[in-house]
């Protein structure tokens, strides 16, 4: 018997607006109307500016550890632009731009990183979940959310974001395997920014693309220029169409780059070459949109200046609100562990102000 080929795979790579400002008219036609493009540009500029301000806040001791989004704004924003308002956006911690687009207030994100649990309470109805800092757990939650929607006969889908490093976690395999085998409408969005803190992509994945990991589960896969808002919108649109029409998952690899450090607790200069960073700076998702809108006569320096003034004012106001929120009441320690406060925790609350937590007979159990 001759050896035959069991399978050949092809993975499309999608790029519409390249780093030089070249635009693929055929693929990009009608994808994002000019008016929306300007709004998306402003959203990305605002997210970028927040990163810069947040970095300074952290360095001056006004905020805890903060992960900058710089360079990766287009990915989650592209997804948020496509998703319906009642779809779930289940993120990790580098998707600020998409969350803001969906209406999550900037001060929620600031509050979270300033170390206030209330920043995680996404104001309803935003269909966004608390920021997931443990790597990968949110992929399973997203699959469960979409599965629940299917169970209830709702059309809602979920879209989840994670990094290249998270595809090494078992959670990725389990979520992808479930979604594919049980027909659950999830859009898996991997932000491949080449670095999991200091660990290079080569140590996470030896295949030529991360995208092909999805092939193993029988999902359609795409590799997308993650610094190209048009390509991001195009890919998520394809994936959400499949999710809605067939109730099935897709996998998207966004090729992008983290221009900043992993978090403010990191110094990426210790492990990355400056030449690599500089090469990616030229591919910045903001620069190419500005080239396009200037070419289309939609933008000029005056407009840029006016926009930045708006952004600076809004961010200053958000910081003001986040920094001046009243500290949470001490009772908050006890309020959210159970839906109803159990007796032993009630005793701990009553003895919280003393030196013997839970030990005093404030509420004598024998007479309870």
Partner 1 sequence: MSTMMSTSPESPAGGLREIEFRDAIREAMSQEMRRDPRVFLLGEEVAQYNGAYKVSRGMLDEFGPRRIIDTPISESGFAGMAIGAAMMGLRPIVEFMSWSFSLVAADPILNNAPKMLYMSGGQFGCPIVFRGNNGAGGQLGSTHSWCVEGLYSNVPGVKIVIPATPEDAKGLMTTAIRDDDPVFFLESERMLGMKGHVPEGDHLVPFGQARLARSGDDITLVSFGRPVHFCLEAADALAKEGISCEVLDMRTIRPLDVGSIVRSVRRTSACVVVDQSWSFASPGSEVASIVHRECFDDLDNYVHRVHSVDVPTPYATNLEQEYLPNARRICEAVRACLYRA
Answer yes or no: are the C-beta atoms of 105 and 145 closer than 8 Å: no
Return d(Cα 23, Cα 20) in angstroms, integer.
9
Q: In the bound complex, what is the minimum distance in angstroms from residue 128's beta carbon to partner 1? A: 11
Q: CA torsion sign, 76 to 81 to 83 to 85?
A: positive
CA pair distance 62, 50, nearest whole angstrom = 14
List 262, 272, 288, 349, catalytic entry: 262
State the catalytic residue, choosing from 258, 272, 288, 349: 258
Least distance CB 61 / partner 1 (angstroms): 24
Q: How far apart are CA 284 and CA 229, in angstroms?
A: 11
Q: Which residues are within 8 A (CB) of 89 and not within 5 positions of it... i.e. 6 or more apart?
A: 76, 79, 80, 83, 95, 98, 99, 102, 127, 128, 129, 158, 159, 160, 161
**Residue from 16, 28, 38 nearest 310 by CA:** 38
Q: Is 217 part of the annotated catalytic residue set? A: no
Residues 279-338 that bind partner 1 (CB under 8 A): 335-338
Q: Is 91 in the site for partner 1 (CB under 8 A)?
A: no
Integer Cα distance of 350 and 360 in angstroms? 9
Cβ distance to partner 1 smaller for residue 43 or 145:
145
Question: Is-catalytic flag, 258?
Answer: yes
Angle, alpha carbons 23-159-19 (nearest 5°): 20
Task: For residue 9, count CB atoms less than 10 angstroms from its CB and return exposed for 0-12, middle for 13-18, buried for 19 or more.
Answer: exposed
Rounded to a whole number of angstroms, the minimum distance from the CB of residue 144 to partner 1 is: 2
Q: Which two three-digit tokens encode residue 300?
A: 């000029």
Closest to partner 1 by CB, 282 or 333: 333
Q: Select from 20, 22, 59, 121 the one that contacts partner 1 (CB under 8 A).
A: 121
For residue 256, say if its preceding peptide bond is cis, omega within 30 degrees of 0. no
Considering the rule CB under 8 A, would residue 174 count as an interface residue with partner 1? yes
Residues 6 or more apart whose Cβ sits within 8 Å of residue 111: 118, 119, 322, 325
107 interacts with partner 1 by CB under 8 A: no
Q: Which of 21, 130, 201, 247 binds partner 1 (CB under 8 A)?
A: 130
State the catalytic residue, choosing from 56, 269, 271, 330. Answer: 271
171 scored as a contact of partner 1 (CB under 8 A): yes
When binding is defined by CB under 8 A, the residue of 54, 140, 210, 232 that contacts partner 1 is 140
The one segment of 132-140, 193-201, 277-285, 297-305 that binds partner 1 by CB under 8 A: 132-140
Asked whether position 148 contacts partner 1 by CB under 8 A, the answer is: yes
E strand or H helix at 368, and its extent? none
257: annotated active-site residue: no
The one among 162, 178, 194, 299 contacting partner 1 by CB under 8 A: 178
Instruction: Decide: is 105 part of the binding site for partner 1 (CB under 8 A).
Output: no
Query: Is the CB of 176 or the CB of 255 nearer to partner 1?
Result: 176
The CA distance from 352 to 288, in Å, is 56
Q: Is 168 helix (H, G, I), strand (E, B) or coil?
A: helix
Nearer residue to partner 1 within complex by CB, 1 or 368: 368
Considering the rule CB under 8 A, would residue 144 count as an interface residue with partner 1?
Answer: yes
Show which residues are catalytic: 258, 262, 271
Binding positions for partner 1, rule: CB under 8 A: 90, 117-118, 120-122, 124, 129-130, 134, 137, 139-149, 151-152, 170-171, 174-175, 177-178, 181-182, 335-340, 342-345, 359, 361, 365-368
């Amino acid at each position: 018997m001759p050896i035959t080929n069991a399978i050949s795979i092809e993975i499309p790579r999608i790029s519409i607006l390249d780093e030089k400002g070249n635009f693929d008219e055929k693929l990009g036609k009608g994808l994002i109307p000019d008016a929306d493009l300007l709004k998306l540009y402003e959203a990305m500029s605002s997210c970028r500016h927040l990163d810069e301000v947040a970095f300074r806040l952290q360095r001056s001791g006004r905020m805890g550890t903060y992960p900058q989004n710089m360079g990766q704004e287009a990915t989650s924003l592209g997804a948020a632009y496509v998703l319906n308002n009642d779809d779930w956006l289940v993120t990790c911690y580098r998707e600020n731009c998409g969350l803001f687009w969906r209406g999550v207030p900037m001060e929620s994100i600031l509050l979270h990183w300033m170390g206030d649990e209330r920043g995680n309470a996404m104001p309803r109805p935003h269909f966004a979940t608390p920021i997931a800092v443990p790597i990968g757990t949110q992929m399973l939650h997203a699959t469960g959310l979409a599965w629940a929607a299917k169970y209830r006969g709702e059309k809602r889908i979920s879209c989840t974001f994670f990094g290249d490093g998270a595809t090494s976690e078992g959670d990725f395999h389990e979520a992808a395997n479930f979604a594919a085998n049980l027909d659950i409408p999830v859009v898996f969005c991997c932000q491949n920014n080449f670095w999991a803190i200091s660990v290079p992509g080569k140590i996470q994945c030896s295949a030529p693309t991360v995208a092909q990991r999805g092939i193993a589960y029988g999902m359609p896969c795409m590799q997308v220029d993650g610094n190209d808002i048009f390509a991001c919108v195009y890919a998520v649109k394809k994936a959400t169409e499949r999710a809605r029409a067939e109730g099935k998952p897709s996998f998207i690899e966004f090729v992008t780059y983290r221009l900043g450090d992993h978090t403010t607790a990191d110094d990426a200069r210790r492990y990355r070459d400056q030449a690599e960073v500089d090469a990616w700076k030229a591919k910045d998702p903001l620069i190419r949109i500005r080239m396009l809108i200037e070419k289309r006569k939609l933008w000029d320096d005056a407009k840029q200046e006016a926009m930045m003034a708006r952004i600076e004012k809004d961010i200053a106001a958000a910081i003001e609100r986040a920094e001046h929120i009243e500290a949470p009441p001490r009772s908050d320690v006890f309020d959210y562990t159970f839906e109803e406060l159990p007796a032993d925790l009630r005793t701990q609350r009553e003895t919280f102000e003393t030196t013997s937590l839970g030990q005093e007979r404030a509420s004598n159990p024998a007479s309870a």
